[in-house]
Amino acid sequence: MAGTGLQRTLSIVKPDGVRKGVVGEVLRRFESAGIRIVAMKMLRLTRKEAEGFYAVHRERPFFGSLTEFMSSGPIVVMVLEAEDVIARNRVLMGATDPKKADKGTIRADLADNVERNIVHGSDAPDTATAEIRYFFSDLDIVS
């Protein structure tokens, strides 16, 4: 497949990942894959901020539970940069439901269930741009 060029994507270690102490393990997997971390911070989302971030899922039955979970504790938010990093990060993450995720992926190895699945990753160039902007200004990202 043709390369997609240098890309950026938004990654989040969700509250379950911080609580379990696997932030370092997730970062290690990115760095081992040659993916550069070009911005990073820890913060705790308010319920409203979690609802804003996941607005695309507003009508889904899991929206209430998801936004409660996402605002339940600190998260680590990162901008990742590499060739084709949007798709490559999704491969490292594994399927949304850890029971369906390939062995060796972050979710298969570390996650408890389809909601508490350790990581978020943008799914396309337009969502990556919007999600990065939700958390970071251009001045926060190293070049």
Q: Which is nearer to Mg ion, 2 or 58 (CB)?
A: 58
User: Nearest distance from residue 30's CB to Mg ion, in Å?
Assistant: 18
How many residues sit close enough to ligand UDP to count as binding (CB under 6 A)? 9
Q: How many helices (H) and strands (E) does the chain have?
A: 7, 4
Which residue in the list 92, 120, 128, 135 is annotated as catalytic? 120
Q: Does 115 contact ligand UDP by CB under 6 A?
A: yes
Handedness of CA 17, 21, 22, 28 (dihedral sign): positive
Question: Residue 141 binds which one of Mg ion, ligand UDP, none, with CB within 5 to 8 A depending on kind?
Answer: none
Residue 120 annotated as catalytic: yes
Q: Of 137, 16, 18, 1, whose CA–CA distance to 66 is shortest?
A: 16
Q: In sequence order, what E strands does 25-93 have?
A: 36-43, 75-83
CB of 123 to Mg ion, least distance (A): 5
Which of the residues are catalytic? 120
